[in-house]
Amino acid sequence: MIFAYARISTEAQNFDLQLDAFKKENIDPKNIYIDISSGAKEKRKGLDELLTRLKKGDVLLVWKIDRIARSTIHLAQLMEEFNTKGIDFKSIQEPFLDTGSSQGKFIFTMFSAISQLERDIIIERTNAGLEAAKLRGRVGGRPGGLTKKAEVKAKLVAYMYQQK
């Protein structure tokens, strides 16, 4: 079965372009899932529901990959999930991204490698920054205990509680 996913960021936008493209692909309207949400949000009702419906042999179609994934890492995670479940993924605007073809699988593998590189670089940069801060005597995390202002407020609250 072929499913489609469309997303817009705000209600000021509309789905027309994406839905017209799905219509040209003869997608059954009941198999189209939509969200009005920032792509940066991890939880999206339409996408979450769609992901629970997909099963082996299904195809997921998007107008463009930025409509489904919030980052390269997120795209790679979705692609890995689709690959594991036997779900093909296609993008109308990026025809090279069709995991039902040899070339599409190759592109997917390249995206996964780039995603892993991106994760590793972020970890290296974070660790280097923490080490540099430590050498300068700075320690990460929240400061221990209450601030002076919070301490005064806590004493006042305790006093007021005791006085009813």
Question: Any idea where the domains of the chain sit in the sequence?
Answer: 1-164
CATH code for the domain defined by 1-164: 3.40.50.1390
According to the model, what pLDDT value does residue 40 have?
A: 66
- Residue 91 phi, psi (nearest 5): -120, 130
Nearest to 105 by CA among 87, 93, 120: 87
In terms of average pLDDT, the best of 22-36, 56-70, 87-101 is 22-36
Q: Is 2 helix (H, G, I), strand (E, B) or coil?
A: strand
Q: How confident is the model at residue 18 (pLDDT cuts 50, 70, 90)?
A: very high
pLDDT of residue 23: 95
pLDDT of the residue at 97 = 78
Which residues participate in catalysis according to the annotation?
Answer: 9
Contact 35, 10 (CB under 8 A): no
* Range 73-78 average pLDDT: 80
